[in-house]
Chain A
Amino acid sequence: MHEQPDAADLLETARALLLAELLPALPASHAFAARMIANAMAIAARAARDATAWPAPPDAALIRAGAYDPGTPQHDEIAARLLAMARARCAVSNPRALRDD
C-alpha cells in the first residue's frame, strides 16, 4: 500500500502553503495563475476523498425521447436521481454551488 500521508492530504497541505506563503509574495500578474492552481488542487483533493457510490446514470437517449416526461411513471425517480448526481458532482467540482440547497 501507499505511504502516508495520502494524495488528498498532500494536495491540501501543498495548497495551504501556496496560499499562505507563495501567493502573497507573487506579483499581481501571477495571482490569477496561483489561484487557478489552488483551485485545481482543491478539486483534486476532494476527488481523492470522494467515496460516492454512484447510481447508474439515467439513459440519456430515453430522456431525449420523452420516456421520463412529467406524468410518466418514472419521472419523479429520474428527476431525483439526476439531482442527487449533480449535487455529488458539485461536492467535488464546486461545493459553493450547494449553498442554496
Chain B
Amino acid sequence: MDDARRAAVEGYLRSVSGDAALRIEAASLLSGGAIQQNWALDVVRHGAPEAWVLRTDNAATLAVSLPRAAEYALLRAARAAGVTVPEPLFLCEDPAIAGAPFFVMRRVAGVAAGHRVVKSETLGGGRAALAQAMGRELARIHSIAPPRDDLAFLGAAPVDAGRAFIAAQREALDRQREPRPALEWGLRHLERTAPPPVPARLTHNDFRTGNIMVDDGGITAVLDWEFAGWGDPAADLGWLCARCWRFGNVAREAGGIGPRAALYEGYGAVEDARVRWWELAAHIRWATIAIDQAERHISGVERSLELALTGHIVPELELEILRMVETRDA
C-alpha cells in the first residue's frame, strides 16, 4: 500500500471510527485469493493497539463474486446468526479512497491453509471435533432464510436450486471457447437424478477446507463469503465433502479433515443422497470456475501462471465426474 493510499485510508478510518487521532502503524499484504486483496492493518485507536484486516478487490474480478458492500452485509447477518466470522467494523463504498470499495474487519488468528489443516491431528480440537464444529457452523448459516431486506442484493431465491444450478452451468459452458462433453455428461446425469426442491436458505457456496480458519481450540472464522446466495443447504455440505476439496486426504470425507458422520452429527438432519448429488455438482462447478480462471489468463485479462495452471486441474475433475456418474448409474 503506497503512502498516499495509506493516508487516505487512515483519514477515512479517523472519520468513521470515533477516534480522530487513529493511526495505522503498519499495513502489509496478506496472502489472498485470486480475486481480493487483504491487508493486515495494525492500528492504534483511542491509544490502544487493534489488529484489523482491510479487504478490497483486485483490478480484475470474477463476474460471479459479490462486491465488498455485499460481503460486509453477509458478515453482519452471519454474525447475528451465531456463525463464527470476523467482526465487521467499517464499510467504505467510495472507490476514490483506496482505489476500490473496501471494508475493515477485526483480524482473527489461526490457520486456514488446506494442506496444513488436513495434515494436523490436533488443529480445531481434533479431527472429529472439527468436523462436528463445521457442521454446526453450516447449520447456523442455513438458519438464515429469505426474504431479507439486508440481503436484497442476493436477488430472489430459486424455486428449485438444483435445476437452477444445471441451467447456470450450461450457460457458463455455452460461453466457453471449447465444448466440454465430460462436464455435459455430468450435468445430464444431474438432470436425470435431480432431487425434489427444498425451501431455499442462505448458502455460503465456498464453505470448504482452506476457507475455515482454525486454531488448537476450534474454528476461529468462516472466511470468503463472496459466492454466497440463496440455495439448497445440501449444496454446502456437498461442496465441503467433495473429493476434489479433501486436499489429498481422501479417506476423511468431511473436507479431508474428519469423518462425514461427525459433520452430519454437528449439522443435524441431513439427507445423505441429496448431499451426494451436490458432491457431483461440486466437481462440475469447480471445473467451470477453473476454466473461467484459465480463460482470464488466455484472453489476456490477467496474465498469471497460477491462473494458467488452474486450467490444468480440469482434466482430473472430468475424470472424477465420469467415475462418479459411472458409479451412480450402476
- Give min CB distance, B324 to chain A, whole Å: 12
Q: Check B214 for interface membership: any CB of A closer than 8 A.
A: no
Helix, strand, loop or mixed for chain A's interface? Answer: helix
Complex Cα–Cα for A90 and B318 (A): 9
Q: Check B175 for interface membership: any CB of A closer than 8 A.
A: no
- Give min CB distance, A47 to chain B, whole Å: 10
**Segment among B13-21, B50-58, B154-162, B179-187 that sits at the interface with chain A:** B179-187
A90 to chain B: which residues have CB within 8 Å?
315-316, 319
- Give min CB distance, A51 to chain B, whole Å: 17
B305 to chain A: which residues have CB within 8 Å?
33, 36-37, 40
B187 to chain A: which residues have CB within 8 Å?
64
Name the interface size band of chain A.
Answer: 20 to 34
A69 to chain B: which residues have CB within 8 Å?
188, 192
Interface centre among A64, A89, A90, by most B CB within 10 Å? A64
Q: Check B25 for interface membership: any CB of A closer than 8 A.
A: no
Q: Say yes or no: A97 contacts B315, CB within 8 Å.
A: yes
Q: Say yes or no: B181 contacts A60, CB within 8 Å.
A: yes
Q: Say yes or no: A57 contacts B179, CB within 8 Å.
A: yes
Complex Cα–Cα for A1 and B321 (A): 41
A87 to chain B: which residues have CB within 8 Å?
319
A36 to chain B: which residues have CB within 8 Å?
305-306, 309
B185 to chain A: which residues have CB within 8 Å?
63, 79, 82
Q: Check A74 for interface membership: any CB of B closer than 8 A.
A: no
